Amino acid sequence: MAGCCGQDAKFEGVSADYKRRLWAVIAINATMFGVEMTAGQLAGSQALQADALDFAGDALTYGISLAVIGTSMRTRSLAALGKGVSLLLMGLWVMGSTLYQVLGPGVPEAPVMGVVGVMALAANLASVMLLVKYKDGDANVRSVWLCSRNDAIGNVAVIVAALGVWGTATAWPDLIVAAIMAGLFLSSAWQILAQALSERREHAHP
């Protein structure tokens, strides 16, 4: 029966193996944030810069996740709420800056977008493989998985955008992908916030 004998208990991250994997993923994300943000600015690509922000957000998310592992449900759900809000703000910023770029001139450098997109995809696939074993858990653990998944999807989208920019010689594919990524940030923020709030209510009223 559901709810009996701990069947509904969720993984809380209390595992030496999980912590080692998180440290590895933090290093991957921090490195790729620097690479992709620099390349995005040089190439004039909004999609690359949006993806770079995703890397930065993930590195911060994983760091917070490590810090609250083993703490009370109240503390962990509060951390998840903070991460959900940060994803929400990131999504709003990317959406706003993308709308602003619609009015701006210039076409991104498709070759740079493609090469960096492939590098970022490889980095994120490595992160996904490291974390897939722990994709289910409380809001704190699940936020880590959702951010990793977002990165992999975002990198595929950047590569598609690069092909679109190259084929059309316009910035529209880049802007469309950036808008889609903003929507993904907002969707993930909603999922994290909803689960974190639910866990706080369950903890308050067991």
Give residue limits of the domains in the chain. Answer: 16-204
- Taking each helix axis from N to C end, the angle separating 46-68 and 73-102, rounded to the nearest 10 degrees, works out to 170
- The confidence band for 24, taking pLDDT boundaries of 50, 70 and 90, is very high
Confidence band of 2 (pLDDT split at 50, 70, 90): very low
Residue 5 is predicted with a pLDDT of 30
Helix axes of 172-204 and 73-102: crossing angle, nearest 10 degrees: 160
CATH match of 16-204 with 3.40.710.10: no
Burial 4-31 (b: 16+ CB within 10 A, else e): eeeeeeebbbeeeebeebbeebbebbbe
Q: What is the mean pLDDT of residues 127-135?
A: 80
158: number of Cβ within 10 Å: 28
Tokens of 93: 């910023």
108 SS3 class: coil
Chain-wide mean pLDDT for the chain? 77
